[in-house]
Amino acid sequence: MSTTTDAIRTADAHSAHTYHPLPVVVASADGAWMTDVEGRRYLDMLAGYSALNFGHGNRRLIDAARAQLERVTLTSRAFHHDRFAAFCAELAALCGKEMVLPMNTGAEAVETAVKTARKWGYEVKGVPDGHAKIVVAADNFHGRTTTIVSFSTDHDARDHFGPYTPGFEIVPYGDLTALAHAVTENTVAVLLEPIQGEAGVLVPPAGYLSGVRELTRERNVLFMADEIQSGLGRTGRTFACEHEGVVPDVYILGKALGGGVVPVSAVVADRDVLGVFKPGQHGSTFGGNPLACAVGLEVVAMLRTGEFQQRATELGDHLHRELGLLVGGGAVTAVRGRGLWAGVDIEPSRGTGREISEKLMELGVLVKDTHGSTIRLAPPLVISKEDLDWGLDQLRSVLGA
Ligand SMILES: *Cc1c(COP(=O)(O)O)cnc(C)c1O
């Protein structure tokens, strides 16, 4: 039996089947490339769902992590540590906000934002206790906790995990009229992905995000943007909201904030919002730990140069130009996205998204399907144009295009 089959059999026997991974067993990685246990190389066109925006083994991030590993890795928030202040101040500055509340995973940051909005609603806006409502969009993906799946519309994510947390109103994504109708005097926040990732890289209609901004400002409701996947350079801007000149009240960040090294997430907002928390009202043993802060600080420094946003813009324009040529040719029905991020709808007769992903794997390209007939392309922003073109060649070959 091969090392690959063996590893997969053991994983199947001893891990809960919450994922359906492609049959590749990765042993090492560098930049945009991964190598499996048998020495085969693959171009990573998923980048850990955007957690690896800066590529595998990024020198600056590994050096920052290694230096911190040698000094101190965990203190708990019972004490200050010497990386915390700089991380919070620099991340707040990157966001143009005043305060940061660091957590670990994306779902925790979303939970933190939900708690922030409710507390703000009761203590600042004056909503009667226990009546706060948060408006969310259909087909959202915000994570996997019991509260978050309570407002999911995906049956796999939600079914048989009730009883569900109340206090959420679901409206169609991209529909400003529906959103306006859903907002009442008890609404404390609108929580949205500026581009819906898991839904298939859905870009809302032009004017939607700025419309949400205007509506929430008028109605004294927080606009909370889940930029966990769309943010930190992926779309060619630091935040996807920037494409419409929109500044939300609350940024929810994760994935690439940890540089693909450690889980780092955060809620970022001004003092009039995050200032609602007092000691003991929220926390996390690992949130804001020295290792996380050292890596996060380096991520922020890298984003401040604009270099990665620039790459995502230029390579993204190229990617979308090339993918656009495939639309209508019988293999691809639609392409969506911004920057180095694309959802590609495959003509069903050419195979399911899963089948296309498996064939691409055979040719040395790793992608992941989403929702049946869509594949998502999100290579690391450090990918070279040559590698990107090679990946696109493999895609054309699999599609017979
Ligand atoms: C991945 C993701 C999350 C959840 O992050 P985890 O780190 O997996 O908990 C939340 N929102 C969006 C938009 C995501 O892409």
Q: Which atom of ligand 1 is nearest to the CA of 252?
A: 11
Whether residue 20 sits in one domain with residue 168: no
Q: Are residues 104 and 40 both part of a single domain?
A: no
Query: pLDDT digits over 32-89, tens only?
Result: 999 999 999 999 999 999 999 999 999 999 999 999 999 999 999 999 999 999 999 9
Whether residue 64 lies inside any domain: the answer is no
The verdict on 248 and 344 lying in the same domain is no
For residue range 153-165, what is the model confidence (pLDDT) as tens digits? 999 999 999 999 9
240 and 347 inside one domain: no
- pLDDT of 401 over the 90 cut: no
Q: Identify the band that residue 372 occupies on the pLDDT scale cut at 50, 70 and 90.
A: confident
Do 259 and 139 belong together in one domain? yes
Q: Indicate whether this model's pTM tops 0.85.
A: yes
Per-residue b or e along 62-76, where b marks 16 or more CB atoms closer than 10 Å to that residue's CB: bebbeebeeeeeeee
Q: Give, in order, the Cα–Cα distances in Å from 139 to each of 152, 174, 226, 228, 382.
A: 7, 11, 14, 16, 30
Residue 62 belongs to some domain of the structure:
no
Torsions phi, psi of 358, nearest 5? -65, -40
Among 36, 44, 226, 345, the active-site one is 226
Query: Do 251 and 133 reside in the same domain of the chain?
Result: yes
Residue 64: predicted pLDDT: 98
Decide if 176 is inside a domain.
yes
**235 lies in the same domain as 288:** yes
Whether residue 48 is found in the same domain as residue 187: no
What is the rounded average pLDDT of the residues 210-237? 98
Q: What is the CATH number of the domain that holds 275?
A: 3.40.640.10
Task: Please state, in angstroms and as integers, the Cα–Cα distance from residue 298 to each residue in 69, 86, 163, 260, following that order.
Answer: 14, 11, 41, 12
Helix (H, G, I), strand (E, B) or coil at 78: coil
Q: Does residue 256 lie within any of the structural domains?
A: yes
Predicted pLDDT of residue 160: 98
For the question of residue 255 being annotated catalytic, the response is: yes
Task: Note whether residue 290 is domain-resident.
Answer: yes
Q: Is residue 289 part of a domain?
A: yes
- How many angstroms does the Cα of residue 62 sit away from the middle of ligand 1? 23
Q: Known catalytic residue: 159? A: no
Q: Domain check: are 178 and 327 in the same one?
A: no
The pLDDT score that the predictor gives to residue 2 is 87
Q: 375 in the Ramachandran plot: left (φ > 0), alpha (ψ -120 to 50) or beta?
A: beta
Q: 342 and 259, same structural domain?
A: no
Same domain, 291 and 276: yes
CATH code of the domain in which 352 resides: 3.90.1150.10
pLDDT above 80: residue 1: no
Q: What is the mean predicted confidence (pLDDT) over 201-214?
A: 98
Q: Phi, psi (5° rounding) for residue 345?
A: -85, 120
CA distance 40 to 22: 14
User: Where among 250, 269, 304 does a domain terminate?
Assistant: 304
Please count the structural domains in the chain.
2
Cα(1) to centroid(ligand 1), Å: 36
Q: How confident is the model at residue 371 (pLDDT cuts 50, 70, 90)?
A: confident
Mutate to test the pocket of ligand 1, among 112, 255, 267, 284 (most ligand atoms within 8 A of CB): 255
Q: Which of 287, 304, 321 is the last residue of a domain?
A: 304
The whole domain housing 214 covers 71-304
Answer yes or no: is 250 within a domain. Answer: yes
- pLDDT tens-digit profile of 6-19? 999 999 999 999 99
> What is the pLDDT at residue 345?
97
What does the H/E/C string look like for 164-232? CCCCEEEECCCCHHHHHHHCCCCEEEEEECCCECCCCCECCCCCHHHHHHHHHHHCCCEEEEECCCCCC
226 carries an active-site annotation: yes
CB within 6 Å of ligand 1 — which residues?
Answer: 49, 105-107, 110, 141-143, 193, 197, 226, 228-229, 254-255
CA 263 to ligand 1 center in whole angstroms: 11
Residue 66 lies in a domain: no
Catalytic one among 84, 141, 151, 286?
141
Last residue of a domain, one of 261, 289, 304: 304
The yes-or-no verdict on residue 228 having pLDDT over 70 is yes
Could you tell me if 296 and 333 lie in one domain?
no
